[in-house]
């Protein structure tokens, strides 16, 4: 028997469940203090497990956040309006089409609450970022998981075919976490008309800024053609603000209003807002960070491939490599060496996800991997 749940009762249940998940499973709650651009204290582990930015925010963003004393004693309502206007201008839309979140994880939570009602299902790729399913699981909605293609990308035709009248939300993580792969702009454009208009398509572009593939295209460019499209972004990755928790979504006025009704009051703090505003205005920062991360990723992946290891081509600040067996003992062996690497993804049990860190951190990782899981003679890439 299904019991009706009010928003207040749901909020309590969700808060309890998420708090428990945070204590028992750190998959989605890595501390951004661990990604500081400052030298790590002696004894600190090498952190290559949460796709953070070890170089931190831009200098302008840091200076802006340090000046938050002038507004820290006030609620951030007007500052949030300013950030919404800035993001709207960045994307060429009206501010009523922007909703802010405490990181993009809250954006995904809002989408679940707004678009998954009784009898509704969520269609997702397997594997992809788990937050949507985490929240959907708390509110006991069903999910339809569609395996990735042979080249580890979203199978958009099969995802479209999995949609029906019960589908409330379709989640597309592009670039995908954990595989680092992308689907092209043409593929997304062909996919959207095949999804029922009654279902919302949420495209998570947390890693958008790292992509170099000429075939990739942000779904923001398709908003005018698909009223049921919502695009999520974050300041956690290339902007280096994971610890400050700023995310947002852009979509139609109706969908954004539906999501905003489930947002926490004053859900983005003043310091984070100032940092986000400064980040948007520092156009050189994104290019510098993209080059730094992608050059390091190409180097480390090239070294792995020279040894005959399988590596999934990535467009993000992380990659996956096949360790040839269950990743669990490999992860534990890295931890014993004070190196934290990604968690196990059940549908890809032999693949290890590794975040890109500083060059010296990747050298430390490579040395440890050779000890923990030596490359097999005769292996092919």
Domains and CATH numbers, the chain: 30-56+284-372 (3.90.1150.10), 59-281 (3.40.640.10)
Question: Cα-Cα-Cα-Cα dihedral of 307, 311, 317, 318, to 10°?
Answer: -100
Which of the 8 DSSP states describes residue 311? B
Measured in whole angstroms, the distance separating CA 373 from the mean position of its chain's CA atoms is: 28
* pLDDT at residue 378, rounded to an integer: 56
pTM: predicted TM-score of the whole model, two decimal places:
0.87
Q: Give, in order, the Cα–Cα distances in Å from 381 to each of 269, 314, 327, 363.
A: 46, 15, 18, 20
Q: How far apart are CA 64 and CA 58, in angstroms?
A: 10
Q: Which residues are bridge partners to 145 per DSSP?
A: 124
Higher pLDDT: 234 or 11? It is 234
Q: How far apart are CA 240 and CA 33, in angstroms?
A: 11
Q: Tell me the pLDDT tens digit for each residue of 209-266.
A: 999 999 999 999 999 999 999 999 999 999 999 999 999 999 999 999 999 999 988 8
Higher pLDDT: 202 or 14? It is 202
């Amino acid at each position: 028997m299904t019991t009706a749940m009010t928003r207040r009762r749901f909020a309590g249940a969700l808060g309890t469940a998420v708090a428990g998940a945070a204590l028992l499973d750190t998959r989605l709650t890595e501390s951004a203090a661990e990604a500081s651009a400052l030298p790590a204290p002696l004894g600190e582990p090498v952190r290559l497990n949460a796709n953070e930015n070890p170089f931190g925010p831009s200098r302008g963003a840091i200076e802006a956040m340090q000046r938050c004393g002038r507004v820290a004693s006030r609620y951030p309502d007007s500052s949030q309006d300013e950030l919404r206007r800035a993001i709207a201008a960045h994307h060429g839309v009206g501010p009523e089409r922007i909703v802010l979140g405490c990181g993009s994880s809250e954006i995904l939570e809002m989408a679940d609450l707004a678009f998954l009602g009784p009898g509704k299902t969520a269609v997702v790729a397997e594997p992809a970022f788990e937050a949507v399913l985490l929240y959907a699981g708390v509110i006991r909605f069903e999910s339809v998981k569609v395996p990735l293609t042979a080249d580890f990308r979203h199978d958009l035709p099969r995802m479209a075919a999995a949609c029906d009248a019960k589908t409330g939300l379709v989640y597309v993580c592009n670039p995908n976490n954990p595989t680092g792969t992308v689907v092209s702009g043409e593929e997304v454009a062909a996919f959207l008309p095949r999804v029922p208009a009654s279902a919302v398509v949420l495209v998570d572009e947390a890693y958008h800024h790292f992509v170099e593939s000429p075939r990739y295209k942000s779904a923001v460019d398709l908003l005018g053609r698909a009223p049921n499209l919502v695009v999520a972004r974050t300041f956690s990755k290339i902007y280096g603000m994971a610890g400050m928790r700023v995310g947002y979504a852009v979509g139609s006025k109706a969908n954004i209003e539906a999501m905003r009704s489930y947002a926490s009051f004053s859900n983005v703090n003043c310091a984070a807002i100032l940092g986000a505003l400064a980040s948007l205005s520092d156009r050189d920062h994104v290019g510098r960070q993209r080059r730094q991360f992608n050059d390091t990723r190409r180097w480390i992946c090239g070294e792995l491939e020279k040894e005959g290891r399988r590596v999934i081509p990535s467009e993000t600040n992380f990659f996956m490599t096949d360790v040839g067996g269950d990743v669990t003992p490999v992860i534990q062996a890295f931890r014993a060496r004070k190196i934290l690497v990604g968690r196990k993804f059940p549908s890809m049990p032999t693949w290890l996800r590794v975040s890109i860190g500083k060059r010296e951190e990747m050298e430390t990782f490579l040395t440890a991997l050779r000890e923990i899981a030596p490359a097999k003679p005769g292996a092919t890439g």
